């Protein structure tokens, strides 16, 4: 598994070629969905145990970013991978086209206020990375951002890469672990999934004509993604390119990367001091010696059968 995970990472400081170096249909050494089911279930169970400790320890936070083309499976990956974790410790935020209020702030603002608290897992379904993806593919979005004209120049994208790298360094320096997943679906598989949305009544609700329109820009997006990986895969916060033509493999890869990242933290339940342990034992003794109060569920003794203390 370690070799597989190493092959998914975008090596910091190296230039990758998305098309030639990564394969959306990759399934590692697994033969089929059935073959991987036990490994996925085990990963989900382990993640649940780790999250319990992360929450109890209240020290680190985990930020998981998902970026992908439409129909790559972000939503279903989040649903499956997180199926074992305590909902109290997880928040999912979906970033859509920015609202008027959001456009009146700098682009990191809406992301910043959605960051996970210590002990929590925050999932970003899309993120500030849209600022170097959809906004780059469709510069008309930039026009709505109220950017001072002298800053709206050719260097804008490189500046954004730097800003994002600094932001993520700040996050990791403050105990927020950043994991970034690109679910890499092929154009052919995307078409197959779009057609399914048309043909299967239960999937009709997922169909969006806007998605079909966006598909025409698939190659432009791949270029923007590649440039983004080459500028923002850092030692603090590397990118993982997750093959997404087989949903079961996507789940397995994502759960494995998260599990390994949490494993590195060597999470433990908080230890109690001797004094705290003494206090616990005293509380236990107090409860055992409690006299029945008004809320007691013990069987009432016969009237007059018990003297007042």
CA atoms within 13 A on the CB side of 121: 27
- Which of ligand ATP, Mg ion, none sits in contact with 134, Cβ below 5 to 8 A by type? ligand ATP
- Which of Mg ion, ligand ATP, none sits in contact with 43, Cβ below 5 to 8 A by type? none
Footprint of ligand ATP on 38-67 (CB under 6 A): none
Residue ranges of E strands in the chain: 61-68, 90-94, 121-125, 176-184, 239-243
Give backbone dihedrals phi and psi of 131, rounded to 5 degrees, phi first: -70, -20
CA atoms within 13 A on the CB side of 155: 6
Q: Quick one: which of 134, 212, 222, 265 contacts ligand ATP (CB under 6 A)?
A: 134
Shortest-Cβ-distance residue relative to Mg ion: 70
Closest CA relative to residue 230, chosen from 221, 239, 219, 242: 239
- Interaction of residue 97 with ligand ATP, rule CB under 6 A: yes
Q: Which stretch binds Mg ion (CB under 5 A): 66-74, 86-94, 138-146, 252-260?
A: 66-74
- The three-class DSSP label of residue 66 is strand
* CA dihedral angle for residue 93, residue 95, residue 96, residue 102, rounded to 10 degrees: 110
What is each CA distance from 154 to 136, 145, 150, 230, in whole angstroms? 11, 16, 10, 18
Q: Quick one: which of 65, 135, 241, 257 contacts ligand ATP (CB under 6 A)?
A: 135
Q: Which stretch binds ligand ATP (CB under 6 A): 42-50, 133-141, 171-179, 184-192?
A: 133-141
Closest CA relative to residue 103, chosen from 80, 122, 130: 130
- Which of Mg ion, ligand ATP, none sits in contact with 46, Cβ below 5 to 8 A by type? none
Q: Quick one: which of 21, 23, 37, 70 contacts ligand ATP (CB under 6 A)?
A: 70
How wide is the angle at C-alpha 171 spanned by C-alphas 168 and 173, nearest 5°? 110
Cα–Cα dist 201/204, whole Å: 5
Q: Quick one: which of 131, 189, 226, 227 contacts ligand ATP (CB under 6 A)?
A: 131
- Which of ligand ATP, Mg ion, none sits in contact with 168, Cβ below 5 to 8 A by type? none
* Least gap, CB of 95 to ligand ATP (angstroms): 5
* Least gap, CB of 19 to Mg ion (angstroms): 24
- The three-class DSSP label of residue 99 is coil
Number of residues that bind ligand ATP (CB under 6 A): 14
Q: 56 CB contacts (<8 Å, ≥6 apart)?
A: 119, 269, 270
Q: Quick one: which of 21, 52, 75, 163 contacts ligand ATP (CB under 6 A)?
A: 75
- Interaction of residue 221 with ligand ATP, rule CB under 6 A: no
Which positions touch ligand ATP (CB under 6 A)?
A: 70, 75, 94-98, 125-126, 130-131, 134-135, 141
Which positions touch Mg ion (CB under 5 A)?
A: 70
């Amino acid at each position: 598994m370690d070799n597989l995970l190493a092959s998914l990472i975008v090596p910091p400081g190296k230039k990758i070629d998305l098309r030639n170096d990564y394969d959306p249909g990759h399934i590692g050494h697994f033969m089929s969905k059935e073959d991987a089911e036990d490994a996925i279930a085990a990963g989900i169970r382990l993640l649940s145990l780790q999250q319990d400790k992360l929450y109890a320890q209240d020290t680190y936070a985990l930020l998981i970013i998902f970026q992908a083309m439409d129909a790559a499976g972000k939503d279903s990956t989040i649903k499956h991978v997180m199926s074992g974790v305590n909902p109290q410790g997880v928040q999912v935020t979906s970033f859509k086209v920015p609202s008027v209020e959001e456009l009146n702030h700098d682009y990191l603002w809406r992301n910043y206020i959605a960051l996970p608290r210590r002990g929590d897992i925050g999932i970003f379904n899309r993120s500030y990375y849209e600022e170097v993806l959809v906004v780059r593919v469709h510069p008309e979005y930039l026009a709505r951002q109220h950017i001072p004209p002298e800053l709206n120049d050719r260097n804008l994208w490189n500046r954004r890469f730097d800003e994002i790298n600094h932001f993520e360094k700040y996050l990791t320096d403050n105990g927020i672990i950043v994991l970034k997943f690109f679910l890499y679906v092929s154009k052919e598989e995307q078409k197959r999934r779009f057609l399914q949305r048309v043909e299967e009544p239960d999937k009709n609700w997922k169909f969006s004509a806007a998605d079909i329109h966006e598909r025409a820009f698939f190659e432009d997006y791949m270029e923007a993604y590649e440039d983004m990986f080459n500028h923002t895969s850092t030692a603090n916060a590397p990118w993982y390119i997750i093959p997404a033509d087989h949903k079961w493999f996507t789940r397995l890869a994502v759960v494995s990367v998260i599990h390994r990242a949490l494993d590195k933290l060597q999470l433990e339940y908080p230890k109690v001091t001797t004094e705290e342990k003494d206090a616990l034992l005293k509380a236990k003794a107090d409860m055992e010696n409690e006299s029945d109060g008004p809320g007691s569920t013990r069987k009432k003794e016969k009237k007059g059968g018990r003297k007042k203390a």
